[in-house]
Amino acid sequence: MPGIPRRHHFVTKAYLEGFLGGEKKHLLCYMRRRSEPFLGMPINLANIRDFHSVRRPDGSIDTSLETLIEREIESPGIPLIRKLASGKVNIDYKQRSLVARLVGLQSVRVPYERSFMDSNNVDNLRSYIDEMDESAKRLGQPVNAIEIAVTPHDDPRLIKNWVRITRAQILAELKEAEEDPQRSSRETFFGLASALEAILVKMKWTVRYASGSSRFITSDRPVIRSFSDGSSMGRGLRDRRAEISFPLSSTSILEIKHRQWHINATRKRTRNQRPPQNPDWKIATGDADDSFIEGLNRRMAKQAHLLVFSGSKEEWLLEWMKEPLKAAKQVVTVLDTELNLSIHREKPKMTRKREWVVGHE
């Protein structure tokens, strides 16, 4: 039917337009294992047919999630991204929340992360079946259910209750995953973005603007997560070392870090130290010289899944994009331990086997 959106962007078209140079209408697109870049208009880039859709039982397509993203995330968020990129950082707390939600969604909506969510879900389900089978062999009796501890952070000290799941339930979940491979991530990533928003909005924000001739690039994974000490491992976004770098345009970038009083409290391990009652939500500004931009661009290219987008020719990218992204998933992903509570429509994450339930359930 006309008017129904079928090509769904996983990197917003309006965001990509911020990386066009001057009056140009095309971005230079560097693809892994491709010898030369190609030109592409933002409207034709970073999109997949029905990426956010679900097919109803009657065969029709439900595009309500795509409409929800456009209405609640992109339409209110993109004008604020452009405002920050233009040098106007005097946004209020509500507007700050809208930007945080856009950044949170952008970090989890991309195919690389959604694929990880879906494969991780299937792997977990299969591991439950495998463990049931192994225990059945050991016990010499059928094992068709297990009890799982519900904890918020995979911490056995925080166990709240126990949930019984049966073999039949798990097999039904696996069948649904086979019939609709993207179901798990589709039901997860929007809620996950809201959980990320709640963390990001309270962190310290700085917008840096290009002060030299170099320009920022972006990619099909435009939100860069790192740790201040250079470590590749951590406890997720709540880790006080965690930092976010998100290019707003070819000439600006948003940096999000934990506030110093959070870091000091963690280091001192004092129980009585409380955060300030009225934190300063003002967004700081700073310069981004050529060295800073070039370093950031290399980090962007390193984490790109398949594509890097640039407003101008970058010869070094041809060499950097020769190799595929490593298949092994990084230890810490956007699917953090503290955020897994949003999996499957807010169903609590189930971890830590308590006991096997023997019988023919």
pLDDT in tens, 57-113: 888 888 899 999 999 999 999 999 999 999 999 999 999 999 999 999 999 999 999
**What pLDDT, on a 0 to 100 scale, did the predictor assign at position 272?**
53
Residue ranges per domain, the chain?
Answer: 9-112+202-333, 115-182+341-358
Q: State yes or no: pLDDT of 215 exceeds 60.
A: yes
**What pLDDT, on a 0 to 100 scale, did the predictor assign at position 131?**
87
E-assigned strand segments in the chain: 7-9, 27-31, 38-40, 47-49, 54-55, 61-62, 143-150, 161-166, 204-210, 218-219, 224-227, 242-249, 252-257, 284-288, 307-310, 350-358
Q: State yes or no: pLDDT of 10 exceeds 70.
A: yes
**What pLDDT, on a 0 to 100 scale, did the predictor assign at position 200?**
95
Place of tokens 């870091």: 263
The answer to whether the CB of 310 falls within 8 A of the CB of 30 is yes
Q: State yes or no: pLDDT of 199 exceeds 50.
A: yes
**What pLDDT, on a 0 to 100 scale, did the predictor assign at position 160?**
65
Whether pTM > 0.85 for this model: the answer is no
pLDDT in tens, 263-311: 454 445 444 555 555 567 899 999 999 999 999 999 999 999 999 999 9
**What pLDDT, on a 0 to 100 scale, did the predictor assign at position 354?**
45
Angstrom distance (rounded) from CA 315 to CA 236: 34
Q: State yes or no: pLDDT of 154 exceeds 80.
A: no
Q: State yes or no: pLDDT of 353 exceeds 70.
A: no
